[in-house]
């Protein structure tokens, strides 16, 4: 129970921070715009005019925003937070454009790493050099002392070097893996590429990171997302990750609010944990379960109703048997837990919608907030089912301008028309929650908003937008990064809009992104990020906060 010795600040207590002369986009339909905002402790006290706020200042010197924009703190609805933090200090392959550059960067990085230490992360993209998959021979000679397991940027395949395969006891005799692929050469020898569930063979050989390394990764991740204006994240991960977050929470070092999902197969453990300890608080919250229906487009493992356009015998794969997703999901739903399921191809999405529909029918109505993660390629006839079944579409707009470079080669133009179908989903009444899928993509909401509003692919080839009819407005994208995300993590009563009484989480941007051409959003910068009434990021050289 709350003790009476530390009461919440009362309405007549002095404000602790204020911002005036701002373009404040509140996200609150009853008061969409304001000039000034005052905070009291970790809560919002006043949202209104400069005069409203100036009356209550007491000794506080307000921040003069000079017309810059303030929004509710951005919520990234899908991150792999510790992977992101680790990747900040690992080999950078995201923009390696040729095999030679790929090899060169790995060579240079390996020279900085002690012998025996695994090299992970990477985020390579073979589509940048035309689609040829790397092989272990490419890197064996430049990584003689370090096992390597570097991931494609979607996390659905890895390249392992010879040392890593040796440690994982992989050979020509290794057996096929359900829900995954060991890529082999003509002689049957593994090439070093392991897709989806087959990655676990290699992952199983990687020693667990030390607690210190994990703490460092979390701190790096929190600091980095604060620089991007992110105040809350929904983390998709493991019980081990949760232990890292709990350590930070206990130490009082959190500057990002985390809603942490754990694997759906462990639903009973989550039920028991909540029964014993509750769901947490505004900093660290549990209650979500993450499952996988299929793989990814770039790895050809997303499950489609029809074969891939460039592989007529291949229609992808369901990585978890639908019977299991139903059985776990139904039991978890009865226990009051939230279901969060990755589904990318139209077959995976339809299968999961069917499962959600069945669970809702059998378990009865309740506020359950089913989520489909990614929801990239939806069959036209399934779009309206999201709103009808109250399924949140948790999507990552940056993926569209990244995949949009090559997606039609894989699925053709017809299916592309309802790829990343934000406009169709909103028109049908569905709720969007936006995020990044970091470390798959950068955790930068301004880039996501730019992507949603322009659909201009990163190769510059679609300046008017790839499938332009699916573009959405900047305010719609902002909503998906704020109130949509808050709703998707059951935090809408305290977060997602700027209203008195809600948590004082806000983001300041150097220009009003609703008043400029969407193409210019990529030039906007975060000026300041506030979480719980405290400044957690301020752009260097900017004015003093207070």
Give 288's strand partners. Answer: 261, 338
Distance in angstroms (rounded) separating the CA atoms of residues 129 and 109: 21
Nearest-CB residue to Zn ion?
A: 437
Closest approach, Cβ 291 to Zn ion, in A, equals 12
Q: Does 68 bind Zn ion (CB under 5 A)?
A: no
Alpha helix positions (H), 455-506: 474-481, 483-488
Smaller CB separation from Zn ion, 196 or 437: 437
Closest approach, Cβ 413 to Zn ion, in A, equals 27
How many residues bind Zn ion (CB under 5 A)? The answer is 1
Smaller CB separation from Zn ion, 376 or 419: 376
Residue 18: what are its φ and ψ, rounded to 5°? -150, 150
Smaller CB separation from Zn ion, 271 or 399: 399
Smaller CB separation from Zn ion, 373 or 512: 373
Pattern 89-108, Zn ion, x by CB under 5 A: --------------------
Give the footprint of Zn ion on residues 28-47 (CB under 5 A).
none
Closest approach, Cβ 155 to Zn ion, in A, equals 7
Smaller CB separation from Zn ion, 22 or 236: 236
Joined together, the tokens standing for residue 475 give 């305010």
Smaller CB separation from Zn ion, 215 or 437: 437
Pattern 400-439, Zn ion, x by CB under 5 A: -------------------------------------x--
Closest approach, Cβ 360 to Zn ion, in A, equals 24
Distance in angstroms (rounded) separating the CA atoms of residues 307 and 2: 58
Closest approach, Cβ 438 to Zn ion, in A, equals 9
Residue 91: what are its φ and ψ, rounded to 5°? -65, 135
Residue count of the chain? 546
Alpha helix positions (H), 228-345: 239-251, 267-277, 322-334
Smaller CB separation from Zn ion, 136 or 342: 342
Smaller CB separation from Zn ion, 378 or 527: 378
Distance in angstroms (rounded) separating the CA atoms of residues 180 and 157: 9
Closest approach, Cβ 437 to Zn ion, in A, equals 4
Pattern 433-452, Zn ion, x by CB under 5 A: ----x---------------
Closest approach, Cβ 539 to Zn ion, in A, equals 29
Handedness of CA 465, 470, 476, 479 (dihedral sign): negative
H or E segment to which residue 139 belongs? helix 136-140
Q: Spell 164-203 as b/e; 16+ CB within 10 A means b.
A: bbebbebeeebeebebbbbeeeeeeebbbbbbbbbbebbe
Q: Are 192 and 151 in contact (CB under 8 A)?
A: no
Distance in angstroms (rounded) separating the CA atoms of residues 526 and 495: 19
Closest approach, Cβ 491 to Zn ion, in A, equals 20
Smaller CB separation from Zn ion, 225 or 498: 225
Smaller CB separation from Zn ion, 374 or 423: 374
Q: Longest C-alpha distance within the chain, in Å?
A: 79
> Of 484, 379, 382, which is closest to residue 435 (Cα–Cα)?
484
Closest approach, Cβ 318 to Zn ion, in A, equals 17
Closest approach, Cβ 93 to Zn ion, in A, equals 18
Residue 341: what are its φ and ψ, rounded to 5°? -125, 125
> Of 514, 457, 528, 438, which is closest to residue 78 (Cα–Cα)?
438
Query: Which parts of this chain interact with Zn ion (CB under 5 A)?
Result: 437
């Amino acid at each position: 129970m709350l003790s009476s010795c530390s009461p919440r600040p009362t309405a007549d207590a002095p404000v602790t921070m204020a911002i005036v002369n701002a373009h404040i986009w509140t996200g609150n339909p009853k008061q969409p715009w304001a000039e000034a905002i005052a905070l009291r402790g970790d809560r919002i006290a006043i949202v209104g005019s400069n005069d409203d706020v100036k009356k209550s200042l007491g000794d506080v010197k307000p921040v003069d925003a000079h017309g810059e924009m303030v929004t509710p703190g951005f919520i990234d609805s899908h991150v792999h937070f510790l992977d992101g933090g680790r990747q900040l200090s690992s080999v950078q392959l995201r923009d390696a454009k040729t095999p030679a550059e790929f090899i060169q960067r790995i060579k240079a990085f390996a020279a900085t790493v002690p012998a025996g230490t695994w090299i992970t992360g990477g985020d390579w993209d073979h589509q940048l050099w035309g689609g040829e998959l790397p092989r272990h021979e490419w890197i064996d000679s430049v990584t003689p002392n370090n096992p390597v397991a570097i991931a494609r940027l979607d996390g659905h395949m890895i390249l392992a070097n010879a040392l890593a395969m040796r440690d994982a006891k992989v050979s020509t005799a290794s057996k096929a893996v359900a829900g995954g692929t060991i890529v082999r050469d003509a002689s049957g020898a593994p090439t070093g590429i392991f897709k989806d569930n087959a990655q676990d063979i290699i992952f199983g050989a990687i020693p667990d990171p030390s607690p210190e390394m994990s703490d460092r990764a979390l701190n790096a991740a929190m600091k980095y997302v604060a620089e991007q204006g992110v105040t809350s994240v929904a983390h998709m991960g493991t019980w081990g990750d949760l232990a890292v977050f709990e350590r930070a929470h206990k130490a009082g070092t959190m500057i990002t609010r985390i809603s942490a999902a754990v694997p759906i197969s462990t639903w009973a453990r989550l039920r028991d944990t909540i029964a014993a300890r509750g769901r947490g608080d505004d900093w660290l919250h549990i209650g979500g379960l993450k499952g996988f229906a299929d793989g990814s487009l770039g790895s050809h493992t997303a499950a489609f109703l029809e074969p891939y356009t460039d592989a007529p015998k291949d229609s992808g794969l369901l990585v978890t048997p639908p019977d299991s997703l139903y059985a776990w999901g139904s039991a978890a739903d009865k226990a009051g837990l939230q279901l969060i399921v990755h589904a990318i191809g139209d077959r995976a999405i339809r299968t999961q919608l069917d499962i959600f529909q069945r669970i809702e029918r059998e378990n009865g109505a309740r506020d359950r907030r089913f989520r489909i993660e990614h929801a990239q390629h939806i069959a036209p006839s399934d779009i309206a089912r999201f709103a009808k079944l109250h399924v949140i579409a948790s999507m990552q707009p940056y993926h569209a301008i990244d995949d949009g470079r090559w997606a039609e080669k894989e699925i053709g133009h017809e299916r592309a028309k309802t790829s990343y179908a934000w406009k169709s989903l909103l028109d049908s009444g569905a709720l969007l929650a936006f995020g990044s899928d970091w470390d798959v993509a950068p955790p930068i909401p301004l880039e996501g908003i730019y992507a949603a509003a322009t659909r201009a692919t990163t190769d510059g080839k679609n300046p008017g937008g790839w499938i332009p009819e699916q573009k959405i407005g900047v305010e719609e994208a902002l909503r998906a990064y704020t109130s949509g995300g808050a709703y998707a993590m059951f935090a809408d009563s305290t977060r997602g809009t700027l209203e008195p009484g809600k948590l004082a989480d806000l983001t300041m941007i150097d220009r009003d992104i609703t008043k400029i051409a969407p193409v210019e959003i990529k030039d906007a910068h975060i000026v300041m990020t506030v979480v719980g009434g405290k400044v957690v990021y301020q752009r260097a050289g900017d004015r003093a906060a207070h």
